[in-house]
Chains A and B, each alone.
Chain A
Amino acid sequence: MSRAMSKITLGIMVAGLLWFSYSSVSAVYPFNWSSLTKYYKLFLEGILTTFQLSVIALALAVIVGIIVALARDSKINLLRDAGTLYVWFFRNMPLLVVILLVYYGFGSAVNVDRFWAGVISLSLFEGAYVGEIFRAGIDAVPSGEKEAGEAMGLYRSQIMFSIVFPQAFRISIPPLIGQLVTLIKDSSLVSVIALGDLTMRARQVGTQTLAVFEAYIVLAGCYLLMTSLISLVGRVLERRLAIP
């Protein structure tokens, strides 16, 4: 079976399964889609907040990640240990706890609003993972190329910026896109501090209309759409920046 045929067959099977499930549930649960329509603005607000939160958090996570990766690869023991400690802490801490600690601890001490508490929590948490992605990317750059830079008389910083980072970045794109997808999904946890992201808005709509199941189906669809778009953009970027 050709690849296209295989995709079409799978599509038909999934559509059939969804239709069957929907029909079965409809028999016992009266779907009420019309009540959701007047709340579409709330969903759009939620999507916008989730998108803003994720993009800003990813940008900051990339900065944190670069610092962590450089620290982990540093020749200075103190920096290397600090990088290791950072990664250990955030990889062993549930994101929900990080959000609560930042919002109720740090946030209340220096008066940070919900949005920025969410951004800080996500960037600190995801920064540990992004750091590991970058470190793997840096390590994957052939040592001979760094050595060539040394032999030319380049400074270490020049070797990093002209030889290592451009390649490490390209190598890191696929896992980085995966991490952005994870970040978007993880961002649903910020609803715990009543930040009006997509999950929070869906919960609000469900409560107000009593069409809870319908609101969560829309929520699931929105997340699938957002993450699939990101994955698509990632694939295009990967192809564009590929080294022949």
Chain B
Amino acid sequence: MKEKSVILSLSNITKSFDSQEVLKEVSFDVREGDVIAVLGPSGAGKTTLLRCINNLITPDGGDVFFKGERVQRTKHAIRAFRSKVGFVFQRFNLISHLKIIDNVALPLVKVGRVKWTDARKVAEVRLKQVGLANKLMSYPSQLSGGQQQRVGIARALVMNPDIVLLDEPTSALDPSLVGEVMRVIRRLSSEGRTMIIVTHEIEFAKHIANRVVFLNDGEVFADCSPNEFFESVSGEIAEFLTDLSAVV
């Protein structure tokens, strides 16, 4: 079988806050269609890693390569890169004064230079795909957490990105609302969408991801298939899984 091409490469990404080293030379490749679950204990550097990828946090060292080319740290290059990388936030971060349809259309208008009327048509399609066709004219505060997160996902997809980064997409949700968001992410995975998901939700790693990257103390401790990960007898992973099952 032909190996799929590498979309994103992280090479020796390092980041410190004050004297604390949060990421220590993190490197791994992301291939087309990969769904990578980034797991690890709290404070392992998972969210920092995701934010370093699209430069929401500037890494101290290392490089990000997108489709083989190094992403330069200039405003223009970062902006161009971000338009190809969708980002889903833990706390949704929807724009409060804009209706749902305009929240989703905004990147198309401002970055894609599409007219509002055309952008709204695309946004409507994306919102239908996440089951929110009847909420187009609502404001974010009028939606439940699960619905807001589905808008966040629709917004991340509207530019048809090559890769989607999801930062703990279900951890701010009421347990009863996790399922609806997970179903949307599962569908994206079955459509072959490339994703990196930082999560504490073990279901992502077990049933949706095809790879697990386990971060511990800022380092990649394991990069393997979910089966290998869950069968691992390594001390840190076993301890992490025990802690997680105790919480769940």
B83:A166 contact, CB within 8 angstroms = no
| Residue interface bits A148-177, CB-to-B below 8 A is 1, else 0 | 111111110010001100110010000000
Distance A154 CA – B54 CA, assembled complex (angstroms): 13
A155:B97 contact, CB within 8 angstroms = no
Residue of B nearest to A141 (CB): B96
B142:A145 contact, CB within 8 angstroms = no
B5 to chain A: which residues have CB within 8 Å? none
Q: How many B residues, CB 8 Å from partner?
A: 25
A243 within 8 A of B: yes
Residue from A142, A147, A148, A154 with most neighbouring chain B CB atoms (10 Å) = A148
Chain A's interface size range is 20 to 34
Which of B30-38, B104-112, B118-126 participates in binding chain A? Answer: B104-112
A151:B106 contact, CB within 8 angstroms = no
B54:A152 contact, CB within 8 angstroms = no
B89:A167 contact, CB within 8 angstroms = no
Distance A144 CA – B87 CA, assembled complex (angstroms): 12
B111:A152 contact, CB within 8 angstroms = yes
B82 to chain A: which residues have CB within 8 Å? 150-153
Residue of B nearest to A163 (CB): B95
| Residue interface bits A213-237, CB-to-B below 8 A is 1, else 0 | 0000000000000000000000000
A148 to chain B: which residues have CB within 8 Å? 87, 89, 93-95, 155
A170 to chain B: which residues have CB within 8 Å? 97
B110:A152 contact, CB within 8 angstroms = yes
A154:B93 contact, CB within 8 angstroms = no
Q: Mind listing 22 A-B residue pairs with CB under 8 Å?
A: A142-B93, A145-B96, A147-B89, A147-B93, A148-B93, A148-B155, A151-B56, A151-B82, A152-B82, A152-B107, A152-B110, A152-B111, A153-B111, A154-B110, A158-B110, A162-B95, A162-B110, A163-B95, A167-B96, A167-B97, A243-B96, A243-B97
B contact set with A: CB distance below 8 Å: 54, 56, 75, 79-83, 87, 89, 91, 93-97, 106-107, 110-111, 139, 141-142, 155, 159
What 10 pairs between A and B have smallest CB-CB spacing? A153-B82, A148-B93, A144-B93, A151-B87, A152-B107, A153-B83, A153-B111, A153-B79, A244-B139, A243-B97
A contact set with B: CB distance below 8 Å: 142, 144-145, 147-155, 158, 162-163, 166-167, 170, 243-244
